[in-house]
């Protein structure tokens, strides 16, 4: 499955643009985690989500990720 990210050019640092579907959001979050970031999906509204990601502090435990809501 290919994730659809809308408005990525307007995203804030550390956040993706809008992602359609929770499964697609989890796939994008996993890609960031595979690159060494902590990443978590957040629900915006309806079927829209975004991923918040950041490089972990040295010695911090890695994120397992989770679909959350804000």
Q: Where are the domains of the chain?
A: 5-69
CB atoms within 10 A of CB 27: 16
Q: Which two tokens stand for residue 65?
A: 């990720």
Q: Is 10 exposed, middle or buried (0-12, 13-18, 19+ CB in 10 A)?
A: exposed
According to the model, what pLDDT value does residue 70 have? 47
- Residue closest to 3 by CA, chosen among 18, 22, 24: 24
pTM: 0.64
Residues of the chain with pLDDT under 70: 1-13, 59-70
């Amino acid at each position: 499955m290919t994730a659809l990210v809308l408005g990525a050019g307007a995203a804030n640092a550390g956040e993706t643009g809008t992602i359609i579907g929770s499964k697609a959001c989890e796939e994008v979050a996993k890609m960031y985690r595979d690159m060494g970031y902590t990443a978590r999906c957040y629900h915006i509204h309806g079927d829209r989500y975004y991923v918040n990601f950041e490089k972990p502090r040295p010695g911090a435990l890695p994120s397992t990720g989770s679909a959350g809501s804000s």
